[in-house]
Chains A and B, each alone.
Chain A
């Protein structure tokens, strides 16, 4: 079981951290908060050309470098630490892995190389919550003489404003299917939602008889969608570990230097014990995320992916929120200001906690998989 990082992964972490210090520092993140696109295309381009990040865990036949999800976990942990604003989860993980999971070689050949080299921004529209089987109804797909048309609404689609390609889960007479819609298609409306987390954009997508192309067979796409959501949950868990660690580091750093009553506040047990409890949670969250990334890499026990995703999804999301709140509290008044970064982490923690399924939804999934409730 690969529970600690290999030397190669540590090297990846070091070079990525250096890179992100240059391109995703405080000023850059702050500038992107008010940017319409919400990401920096030049940095996105450098991620692809200098570091090959987008293609890191995609197969070589589609222009990727064929590394595993364990390496992707390192990338996400560093993204979480540096509050990286980029359409990585949506384009590379969600869309990339839906494409890999559906049986449609021409669609894979057409789009995966663009995702892998960062020249194509894509996203996946499935109803928010624990997946397409839980919440709002899927859009309806209707076959007509001119091809498929989609009608319906999908809420909370990540990075939809900047996506050039949207994969959309929709109902057909044969069951759930995946459709491709190009940005600019007729009857496609994308509305940015005023989500508190400005480092991660989400939109409402409305479809009115929007022309769409069927990807893979008609019906039977549930498994592919589930898999992509599970992988995205695992990636997000790794990101949450990085975010939680950053919060703990900030809290400890501040507690060592901020003085009240003539001594550093970190010398008081009330502060120490909060930090120690965070350390317990951050270390445990890392154990969970590292295990889940190992499972997601497919090298060991791939059948455990649903449980690993639910476990890491629930625990790491909560750990990040706890760490973000404690960090803010330990900073006191300064932590409540707009200028301080504590709120950026809190908002990112909260959006990550609710974006791909809430911790309670993950726990319900785990309850089924652990045999507490019967498998449905």
Chain B
């Protein structure tokens, strides 16, 4: 690892952008492998290249291997990575667990986990949802019983992204009584290679397995793997990662600008764009894709001006998840029955649009369903009254 930060601290933003662009051009990750194992290896190798060049973790502290960039440069970083079409870090640890550990972990935990996580030497998966705890996550039942210097964890987690290739699970577990709900939940980091852990791929409606199920049977987890205090896990997991999300929304927006351009090219190639009904539908989609970027840019402008992400950040996820579903469905509809083919010589662009149509069903379910998000916007942003039938938050 180079300990030289000079490239991050150059005087002006344009020079910073140019240095980053040069690095990305010189070290490009190469072509995306088609098989899942090759793809994981490709993601890991690229993440190590970034880390070793001191080009990983834009918002992370430098003593954790990050870059600790001012917000404006984090945005530039996101734009350039999106532009270069490089792979994302594998797993969900870099986006979710990492910032939580940065904020609430001990110095020892930060040193032990964060550089390895950021370099993708270890892949982390999330263990929040359970078969009986989806939207009502505070009812989760995976228990952690204290035994000496260990917790003994038993239960089942589900919808853990890439669990089958992950090394580490960051999980919410019950340390209090079932009735204590969110006040009896603890945040634990556990080794997926430990005795008592079984991971099974969860075959989803796409036919693939982007998620896994994790079965935990008397798994021993050292107390030193607990983030924050016992029974404080809910608060940690709920901590707003608003600034991280702002840059993420920007990446998503530039990604969909590009996807929309590809859809327009397809529509023109097939002659559909000449049909006024279709050209109008596509224009409507293009307008909404552009607004996705404007919402992200508004959030960024608000953070830069006031330090707070502003109203656009709270609606972006609902707006974007609905729009990405519509975009793929419009594409499938536009292709007619050809849109249904997900392989073989007659499939259009190897079935990417129907693949997206199926895959994005998860967009309004995972990480808080669209209904839960609407409740949150209604109650926390608009100030509408709580449903008295719901347990207290």
Residues of chain A touching chain B, judged by Cβ–Cβ distance below 8 Å, are: 1-4, 248, 252, 255-256, 263-264, 266-269, 271-273, 275-277, 279-280, 283-284, 286-288, 290-291, 310-311, 314-315, 360, 363-364, 366-367, 370-373
Question: Which residues from 245 to 267 on chain B have a C-beta closer than 8 Å to any C-beta of chain A?
Answer: 264, 267
The smallest C-beta distance from A121 to any residue of chain B, in angstroms, reads 34
Nearest B residue to A4 via CB reads B301
A4 to B379, CA, bound (A): 24
In the complex, are the beta carbons of B295 and A287 less than 8 A apart?
Answer: yes
A268 to B280, CA, bound (A): 36
A284 to B318, CA, bound (A): 11
In the complex, are the beta carbons of A288 and B291 less than 8 A apart?
Answer: yes
Given contacts A4-B302, A266-B385, contact A371 B311 (CB under 8 A): no
In the complex, are the beta carbons of A372 and B315 less than 8 A apart?
Answer: no
User: B110 within 8 Å of A by Cβ?
Assistant: no
The residues of A that contact B311 with a CB separation of less than 8 Å are: 279, 283
User: B39 within 8 Å of A by Cβ?
Assistant: no
The residues of A that contact B291 with a CB separation of less than 8 Å are: 284, 287-288, 311, 315
User: B371 within 8 Å of A by Cβ?
Assistant: yes
A269 to B388, CA, bound (A): 11
In the complex, are the beta carbons of B282 and A269 less than 8 A apart?
Answer: no
A314 to B386, CA, bound (A): 34
Given contacts A269-B387, A273-B378, contact A372 B286 (CB under 8 A): yes
Nearest B residue to A307 via CB reads B290
In the complex, are the beta carbons of B297 and A3 less than 8 A apart?
Answer: yes
Q: Annotate B263-303 by CB proximity to A: 1 below 8 A, 0 otherwise.
A: 01001100001101001101110111011001101100110
In the complex, are the beta carbons of A280 and B287 less than 8 A apart?
Answer: no
The residues of B that contact A371 with a CB separation of less than 8 Å are: 264, 268
Please, how many residues of chain B have a CB less than 8 angstroms from a CB on the other chain?
45
A272 to B276, CA, bound (A): 37
User: B42 within 8 Å of A by Cβ?
Assistant: no
The smallest C-beta distance from B289 to any residue of chain A, in angstroms, reads 10
In the complex, are the beta carbons of A372 and B310 less than 8 A apart?
Answer: no
In the complex, are the beta carbons of B378 and A284 less than 8 A apart?
Answer: no
The smallest C-beta distance from A245 to any residue of chain B, in angstroms, reads 11
Nearest B residue to A313 via CB reads B287
User: B383 within 8 Å of A by Cβ?
Assistant: yes
Question: Which residues from 350 to 393 on chain B have a C-beta closer than 8 Å to any C-beta of chain A?
Answer: 371, 373-375, 377-379, 381-388
Nearest A residue to B312 via CB reads A283
The smallest C-beta distance from B389 to any residue of chain A, in angstroms, reads 9
A370 to B261, CA, bound (A): 9
Contact pick for B374, options A266, A273, A283, CB 8 Å: A273
The residues of A that contact B295 with a CB separation of less than 8 Å are: 283-284, 287
The residues of B that contact A252 with a CB separation of less than 8 Å are: 382-384
Contact pick for B315, options A248, A256, A284, A373, CB 8 Å: A284
The residues of A that contact B294 with a CB separation of less than 8 Å are: 3, 284, 287-288, 290-291
User: B305 within 8 Å of A by Cβ?
Assistant: yes
A interface secondary structure, majority: helix
The smallest C-beta distance from B41 to any residue of chain A, in angstroms, reads 38
In the complex, are the beta carbons of B287 and A311 less than 8 A apart?
Answer: yes
In the complex, are the beta carbons of A370 and B286 less than 8 A apart?
Answer: yes
The smallest C-beta distance from A134 to any residue of chain B, in angstroms, reads 14
A255 to B379, CA, bound (A): 12
The residue among B274, B291, B311 with the most chain A CB atoms within 10 A of its own CB is: B291
The residues of A that contact B284 with a CB separation of less than 8 Å are: 314, 363
User: B113 within 8 Å of A by Cβ?
Assistant: no
In the complex, are the beta carbons of A3 and B264 less than 8 A apart?
Answer: no
In the complex, are the beta carbons of B385 and A367 less than 8 A apart?
Answer: no
The residues of B that contact A266 with a CB separation of less than 8 Å are: 378, 384-385
In the complex, are the beta carbons of B384 and A372 less than 8 A apart?
Answer: no
In the complex, are the beta carbons of A315 and B288 less than 8 A apart?
Answer: yes
User: B71 within 8 Å of A by Cβ?
Assistant: no
A248 to B318, CA, bound (A): 18
- A sample of 11 cross-chain residue pairs with beta-carbon separation below 8 angstroms, ordered by A number, consists of A256-B384, A271-B384, A272-B375, A273-B375, A283-B315, A284-B291, A284-B312, A288-B290, A315-B288, A364-B279, A367-B283
In the complex, are the beta carbons of B319 and A280 less than 8 A apart?
Answer: yes
A275 to B379, CA, bound (A): 10
The smallest C-beta distance from A70 to any residue of chain B, in angstroms, reads 13
In the complex, are the beta carbons of A372 and B378 less than 8 A apart?
Answer: no
A288 to B310, CA, bound (A): 16
In the complex, are the beta carbons of B377 and A280 less than 8 A apart?
Answer: yes
The smallest C-beta distance from A83 to any residue of chain B, in angstroms, reads 22
A360 to B298, CA, bound (A): 26
Given contacts A3-B298, A287-B291, contact A364 B276 (CB under 8 A): yes
The residues of B that contact A264 with a CB separation of less than 8 Å are: 384-385
Contact pick for A256, options B264, B267, B383, CB 8 Å: B383
Given contacts A268-B387, A275-B382, A283-B312, contact A1 B297 (CB under 8 A): yes
In the complex, are the beta carbons of A364 and B384 less than 8 A apart?
Answer: no
The residues of A that contact B273 with a CB separation of less than 8 Å are: 367, 372-373
In the complex, are the beta carbons of A367 and B315 less than 8 A apart?
Answer: no
In the complex, are the beta carbons of A372 and B374 less than 8 A apart?
Answer: no
The residues of B that contact A363 with a CB separation of less than 8 Å are: 280, 283-284, 287
The residues of B that contact A284 with a CB separation of less than 8 Å are: 291, 294-295, 312, 315, 319
The residues of B that contact A366 with a CB separation of less than 8 Å are: 283, 286-287
The residues of B that contact A287 with a CB separation of less than 8 Å are: 291, 294-295, 297-298, 312
The smallest C-beta distance from B106 to any residue of chain A, in angstroms, reads 38
Given contacts A4-B310, A256-B384, A267-B384, contact A276 B305 (CB under 8 A): no
